[in-house]
Amino acid sequence: MNADFLNGKTALITGAAKRLGAALALALAAKGARVVLHYNRAEAEARALAQTIADAGGVADVVQADLAAEGTVPRVMEEALSKTNHLDILINNASIFEEITFADTTDRAIQENMSVNAIAPLLLSRCFAAQGRPGAIVNMIDTMVMDYDRKHLPYHLSKRTLQTLTRVMAVEFAPDIRVNAVAPGLILPPAGKGKDYLEQLASSNPLHCHGGPEDIVKAVFYLLGAGFVTGQTLFVDGGRHLRGSMYE
């Protein structure tokens, strides 16, 4: 993957200790970017990832914060900037993903999901823009924003909000900062499930297959390097977002 433009850049990735956040951190570091790994509870994983990056010749720092806690977002940005001096890239990846149906939804569940999945990205992005320098933001959402995730209503609402915020921030931060989103589909199984989970659901998209973390990395790299693209959501889902419209 040709991504020489990332060499020497600095990036803050939220929720970077595991899964897609970790994959993105490793990929950015491999292309010469200095990465700041945000984590909440997964300290061991975050520090192990930072060491892996260092062992490969890269540079990684860690920042801990509960993004749902009031007043923590400015501190995350302050700590990141204290380590890197400036940031070129922000990837809002951290998410809460709990199985809560409409019937079981509470105001607290909605508030918690909105805090982490939408409000924290908004506040972090404003802090990022306050640097007064060019940059790029990528928000991680979900292909289900185009459908209805009946098992995860608070999550669904918060990710739809983040998709709208992507468009809003693309206008508000232009022309110096581009803001886009990536919407994964069948990429990784939920915690506690194996690859067979993805294979069983492969027929739910037009391509009848599932992807992997490398597909998300490619999508993020494209958006980071696409200088004439902003306010877009790139669906990496085998066409799953077409369901309910053209695809039956």
Would you call 247 a catalytic residue per the annotation?
Answer: no
Tell me the β-bridge partners of 135.
Answer: 177
Residue with tokens 């306010």: 231
- Which residue is catalytic, options 39, 148, 155, 247? 155
Q: How far is CA 149 from CA 134, 158, 160, in A?
A: 35, 12, 11
Q: How far apart are CA 105 and CA 157, in angstroms?
A: 11
- Among 1, 34, 38, smallest CA distance to 21 is for 38
Q: How far is CA 199 from CA 23, 44, 170, 207, in A?
A: 21, 31, 36, 12
Which secondary-structure segment (H or E) carries 11? strand 10-13
Q: How far apart are CA 81 and CA 72, in angstroms?
A: 14
User: Would you say 51 and 118 are in contact if contact means Cβ atoms under 8 Å apart?
Assistant: no
Q: What is the set of active-site residues?
A: 155
